[in-house]
């Protein structure tokens, strides 16, 4: 399959935003009066060269499916609903299995990357199993940092760094092979159960994205993103 497919991980509970969103999943957070975060994210991906969107859903999946059914570009979208919480890794494996993908781009459903993702659309070389988009933040204390050696990521450090920090941008290109020892329906984290092992083996490549990243997962950053987008409208 040669589609440029992107799986959006949009099944989380969004606990920190629930007091604000109340009756809707985090990916449906309103940004404009008539547009959600998910719509903005999908439109950015489609305009960047992605031609197939796979939504990995869980919490209040029916509300996301209802929105998708009304979108003009709904034919480019498939929805995969988790029967139980699978974690990021389990959700990716579940979606790739159901859609029949051997390789896919992955993005977190609460992450907006204001940068070109052209390099992440390049298919993996035969010797590559996973590529992570990284981004340099002027202040990366919330995110932790990646440790680089040449063209490889060799480790990850926790949060607490205060300046000029290269972080995991929550954008991945993965080959199904990285899940070969795991089963569909198994719960696990790609960040904590897969990436450290790949990094230790020096099998984790990266692409440095030139731009900025917003994670709307906490109220302060969500409101800041809304304000930024309103000023651009």
Q: What is the mean pLDDT of residues 175-196?
A: 96
119 belongs to a structural domain: no
206 belongs to a structural domain: yes
What whole-number distance in Å separates Cα of residue 146 and Cα of residue 151?
12
118 belongs to a structural domain: no
1 band by pLDDT with thresholds 50, 70 and 90? very low
pLDDT exceeds cutoff 70 at 6: yes
Q: How far is CA 230 from the centre of its chain?
A: 23
pLDDT of residue 33: 81
pLDDT of residue 2: 57
201 belongs to a structural domain: yes
Spatial contact of 216 and 29, defined as CB atoms under 8 Å apart? yes
Range(s) of the domain holding residue 176: 5-112+126-232
Spatial contact of 59 and 38, defined as CB atoms under 8 Å apart? no
pLDDT tens for each residue of 86-108? 999 999 999 999 999 999 999 99
Overall number of domains in the chain: 1
pLDDT tens for each residue of 35-71? 999 999 999 999 999 999 999 999 899 999 999 999 9
155 band by pLDDT with thresholds 50, 70 and 90? very high
27 belongs to a structural domain: yes
Record the pTM: 0.94
Backbone angles phi, psi at 104, to 5 degrees: -155, 155
For the chain, give the mean pLDDT: 90
146 belongs to a structural domain: yes
3 band by pLDDT with thresholds 50, 70 and 90? confident
pLDDT exceeds cutoff 50 at 146: yes
pLDDT of residue 18: 77
19 band by pLDDT with thresholds 50, 70 and 90? confident
77 belongs to a structural domain: yes
120 belongs to a structural domain: no
Strand 30-32, strand 35-36: pairing: antiparallel
CATH number at residue 131: 3.90.550.10
pLDDT tens for each residue of 129-140? 999 999 988 765
Q: String of b and e for 11-40 (b: at least 16 CB within 10 Å)?
A: bbebebbeeebeebbbbbbebeeeebbbbb
Tokens at 28, concatenated: 């449906």
């Amino acid at each position: 399959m040669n589609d440029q497919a992107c799986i959006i991980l949009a099944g989380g509970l969004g606990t920190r935003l629930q007091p604000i969103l109340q009756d809707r999943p985090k990916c449906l957070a309103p940004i404009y009066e008539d547009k959600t975060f998910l719509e903005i994210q999908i439109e950015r991906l489609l305009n960047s060269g992605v031609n197939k969107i796979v939504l990995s859903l869980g919490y209040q999946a029916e509300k996301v499916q209802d929105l998708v059914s009304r979108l003009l570009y709904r034919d480019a979208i498939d929805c995969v609903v988790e029967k139980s919480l699978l974690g990021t890794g389990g959700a990716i494996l579940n979606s790739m299995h159901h859609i029949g993908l051997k390789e896919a781009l992955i993005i977190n459903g609460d992450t907006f990357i204001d940068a070109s993702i052209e390099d992440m659309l390049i298919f993996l070389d035969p010797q590559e199993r996973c590529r992570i988009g990284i981004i340099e933040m002027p202040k990366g204390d919330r995110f932790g940092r990646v440790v680089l050696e040449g063209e490889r990521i060799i480790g990850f450090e926790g949060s607490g760094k205060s300046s000029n920090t290269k972080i995991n941008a929550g954008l991945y290109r993965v080959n199904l092979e990285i899940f070969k020892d795991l089963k569909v329906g198994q719960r696990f984290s790609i960040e904590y159960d897969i990436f450290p092992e790949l990094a230790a083996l020096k099998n984790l490549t990266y692409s440095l994205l030139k731009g900025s990243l917003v994670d709307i997962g906490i109220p302060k950053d969500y409101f800041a993103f809304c304000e930024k987008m309103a000023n651009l409208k």
